[in-house]
Amino acid sequence: MPVDVQTDRSIAILLLSEPDTYNALSRSLVKALHAALDDEQVQKSRAIVIGSTDRYFSAGANINDLLDGWMLDADDTASPVKLFERLSTDPRPTIAAIDGGALGGGFELMLSCDLAIASSKAWFSLPELGHGVIPNTALMRLQRIVGVRRMMQCIMTGERIDSQLALDMGLVNALAADPVAQSVDMAASIVDRVAPGALAVAKAFAMKHANDDWQAVHQSLQQVPAPEWQEGLSAFTQKRPARYDAFWQEQAENRLKKNA
């Protein structure tokens, strides 16, 4: 099963379980996560923990799915952004338990949860610009956590962020030897002390005050120049360096024409 569903003390635990793809957020895995969230036991739960059973939390979006429509169709019900929006707007506590690499969409899956706990093996990266695409959900949610300059550094460089730096930056709330178990404990302690209606209102207004605009997130991929992402994603699948020199030259020529 691509998603292993468990429960513990009224906490739903969803474990990504596709090691062959490093838990890449393909259409099939996104659909499986939606199905897991619709599961009766998960619906009855008071909180949700998302983890993994592999050395990768998630390697990000599936490149073939990006090439096959995700960059053009903002209404695809199996797009990762639909999943991220659903998690961020769920009235219950959502906690990401990261025990390995969280890249691109995997990083954004973590950002879409209310809280995050990582192991010493966790690491994070946003490599999208190098592939000619954008981390559209991270552009909305990351800067509120780490600030604009640090966000731009993460996005522009695609640098690898280890678990200790992630803690220092505020990307994760805590480090733990077993992040799933620690996340379940945290979730249980939360739901034992708070009123569900008040929590739902607090989450809703937190997002309102933060000016979350999911419609803009859905539409933003369509603003990326198609020749650039076609080159970047094709280069990735062909395991060669992307060739962006012509695009830089075109941009420079357009500036000169504009300023002439």
Q: Average of pLDDT values for 52-81? A: 84
The mean of the pLDDT values for the chain is: 94
Residue 75 — very low, low, confident or very high, per pLDDT cuts 50/70/90?
low
128 carries an active-site annotation:
yes
pLDDT of residue 211: 87
* pLDDT tens sequence across 136-182: 999 999 999 999 999 999 999 999 999 999 999 999 999 999 999 99
Residue 108 bears catalytic tag: yes
From the list 18, 128, 159, 231, the catalytic residue is 128
Q: Tell me the pTM.
A: 0.94
**Rounded to an integer, what distance in angstroms lies between the CA atom of residue 159 and that of residue 155?**
8
What is the separation, in whole angstroms, between the first and last Cα of the chain?
A: 60
Residue 258: its pLDDT value, please? 87
Name the active-site residue from 85, 108, 231, 253: 108
Residue pLDDT, tens place only, 195-237: 999 999 999 999 899 888 999 998 898 899 999 999 999 999 9
The Cα 188–Cα 9 span in angstroms is: 7
**For the chain, percent of residues with pLDDT exceeding 70:** 98
- Distance CA(39)–CA(44), nearest Å, equals 9
| pLDDT band, very low/low/confident/very high, at 259 (cuts 50, 70, 90) | confident
pLDDT at 74 over 60: no
Interval 103-122 mean pLDDT: 98
pLDDT of 247 > 60? The answer is yes
* Pairing label, strands 47-52, 56-58: unpaired
Give whole-number Cα distances, 50 to 69, 93, 118, 183, 244, in Å.
26, 11, 12, 9, 36
Distance between CA 156 and CA 130 in Å, rounded? 8
Q: What is the mean pLDDT of residues 127-138?
A: 95
Q: What percent of the chain has pLDDT over 90?
A: 86
